[in-house]
Amino acid sequence: MDKSQITEMPFFYDRYINLIIDGVDVLEVLKTTQNNLEELKDDFIRNKNYQYQAVKWTPKDILQHLIDTERIMSYRALVLARGEQQDLIGFEEDKYAQNTNVSNRTVEDLLEEFKLVRSATIHQFKHFTKEMFVKTGECSGIHVTPLIFGFICVGHVKHHISVLKEKYFIN
């Protein structure tokens, strides 16, 4: 299933989905981007505790945020694919960031966890039918489908890689 099969671009999430080129299959792009963070490992290690402003996250915080977000988006896709009709709740990313143990974790451990979470996302999406991908629901009042959440997983990582390159000296 590709981006053209998204019938209604969701407010807020469109900024992530629009980072993905048209015509790319969601499962394929999940697979081909799985190692994008791993490719930045040396820079992550070198800059792991850097903050470009006092209130901004470190690269390790960003890695944990990417892991948390991927899990949440994958969960949302799952419950919609299974027919959930309740409005899915949002999440407050700063609260999540305040309640991690990232300072006691290594970059290598965080990268390994991301890879495992992405593998689980890929495996889950691999078994969705076309009908499951387009089941609709609401998330914080926004009309969504499992397909949308797959593209959000990829676009969200892409967005943060751009931020890391721009603000954190990560190449």
Residue type, 153: C
Tokens 């981006």 belong to which residue?
3
Q: How many domains does the chain have?
A: 1
pTM reported for the whole predicted model:
0.96
CA of residue 147 relative to chain centroid, distance = 13
Tens-digit pLDDT profile for residues 91-136: 999 999 999 999 999 999 999 999 999 999 999 999 999 999 999 9
Tens-digit pLDDT profile for residues 51-104: 999 999 999 999 999 999 999 999 999 999 999 999 999 999 999 999 999 999
**Residue 147 maps to which CATH number?**
1.20.120.450
C-beta separation of 52 from 150 below 8 A: no
Mean pLDDT of the chain, nearest integer: 96
| Count of residues making up the chain | 171
**What does the DSSP 8-state code read for residue 25?**
B
Confidence of residue 170 (pLDDT cuts 50, 70, 90): confident
Report the alpha-carbon distance of residue 120 to residue 109 in Å, rounded.
17
* Domain hosting residue 163, numbered range: 3-167
Asked if the model's pLDDT at residue 171 lies above 90, the reply is: no
